[in-house]
């Protein structure tokens, strides 16, 4: 159940159509928020929908979690700061054990431990960051059932 994302190489040509039926994965109705270019959408069963800009060299990408339990209710907690932000090249690494940008001051275990706790509770954590503007972590956890059995 360990998942960080899907790497799509923006330096090579990308064909986003089914080779069997020629259905395109490009959504012409939506535009990239950064360059107004075309957007691709890839649905991955039981994982979510990966969206991104289909324009060469654009870095915009978004991951939407699909609720695996249908109408099951989730609680979402957003934690934001107005700090320096996380460079795009580090976003896919921040939940890996021992990854740190702090050198000797950090162990690189904090976010990997948090990811493990959230995953063990059937939740999800996502991150959006912009350099110079800050970062937002969104934690989604399923609502539990209230048990009124006090014996």
Any idea which residue has 């702090």 for tokens? 102
Q: From CA 37, how far away is CA 49, in angstroms rounded?
A: 18
Query: Residues 101-149: pLDDT tens digits?
Result: 776 666 666 788 888 888 888 888 889 898 988 888 888 888 776 566 6
**First and final C-alpha spacing in the chain:** 36
CB 88 within 8 A of CB 150: no
DSSP element (H, E) containing 48: strand 48-53
Domains and CATH numbers, the chain: 9-66 (no CATH), 72-143 (3.30.565.10)
Query: Residues 84-114: pLDDT tens digits?
Result: 888 888 888 888 878 777 766 666 667 888 8
What is the SS3 assignment for 89? helix
Separation of CA 13 from chain center: 23
Per-residue confidence (pLDDT) for residue 73, from 0 to 100: 72
């Amino acid at each position: 159940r360990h998942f960080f994302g899907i790497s799509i190489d923006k330096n090579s040509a990308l064909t986003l159509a089914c080779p069997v039926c020629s259905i395109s994965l490009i959504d012409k109705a939506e535009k990239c928020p950064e360059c107004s270019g075309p957007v691709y959408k890839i649905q991955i069963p039981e994982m979510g929908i990966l969206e991104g800009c289909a324009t060469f060299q654009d870095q915009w990408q978004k991951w939407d979690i699909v609720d695996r339990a249908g109408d099951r209710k989730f609680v979402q907690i957003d934690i934001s700061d107005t700090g320096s932000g996380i460079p795009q090249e580090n976003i896919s690494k921040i939940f890996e054990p021992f990854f740190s940008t702090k050198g000797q001051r950090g162990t690189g275990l904090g976010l990997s431990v948090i990811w493990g706790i959230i995953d063990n509770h059937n939740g999800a954590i996502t991150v959006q960051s912009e350099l110079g503007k800050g970062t937002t972590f969104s934690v989604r956890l399923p609502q539990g059932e209230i048990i009124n059995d006090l014996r």
